[in-house]
Structure 1
């Protein structure tokens, strides 16, 4: 039961952090929504910061797995796998509960460079860039790191654009730009 309660508290906090923001979501709101006590929350998470970091670690693992599943379910060639990432994000942007990227949101709320929350948010994008660089390398692109950085910029920009103005086709536009970039790098690598 204790593991289930810990997971329930984390899941509840994650939902509130994502829908309402981290700083605006207090411990009292988390406890109330989870139907538990502060004592139980603090038993598993000694501080709100610990809970926030656990939320970001859990979100990071879930998001990377979701992206990898989308890639694996796409067409077989590496170019298509790079483009499949845009489809994964397009489906996330189309959900009614979309409130932006949890990592971008957290980094905006905790903008100080040495803040552990900002660092945890940045770790997702480091892992994501590596995943894209690996796919670019599999496609035979020699400057895979630079392409991965550019694709990450397109995706994160499209997410923020969609957060600001819903149904603006930001991810489709980013996908169109990505096709041009990927084809350019493929041609340059031959």
Structure 2
């Protein structure tokens, strides 16, 4: 997700809410805490120890995923075969999840980026599950995060225009009983998006090339 210069903020829809007592609030908090920390929902990736050579490889492939192995090997100070093995280990270990082209959104007709804060009903774990399942099936949703604060989820949506956002994404989300309300911020101009991750050798390991 990138940084943006200006945005317009509006609450689009809010479902009627019944009054709640302290016990209701505690029950909601307990359900949400259980859902967040559920082993079924958390991906437990064993962190692969990274040494400075690994970090350098990752920096290079982030900057240019099409870099030739022989060029990469020269930049990290390895011969081609050990360099290729390292890249393969980083892929198999889940550190490198994949390779893709970064497209210019307006150039492919996706001129509107929306950040939508979503609150869901918390009286059942199924509500959060239903929301996550729904957004994972929407190609227009390019990012989804469970967050702290006034909303439960923050999603990033790319669409051609406002009409498409209202007629597709909002319509699909509001059809879910899980949704309490949706608050949308519309990006006016993008200064940085899809940036490379800031890497440093936090977990230093020593191993043979």
Bigger relative contact order (CA 8 A; separation at least 6): 2
State the TM-score, normalizing by the size of structure 2: 0.32
State the TM-score, normalizing by the size of structure 1: 0.35
Q: Larger % of helix: which?
A: 1
Q: Larger % of strand: which?
A: 2
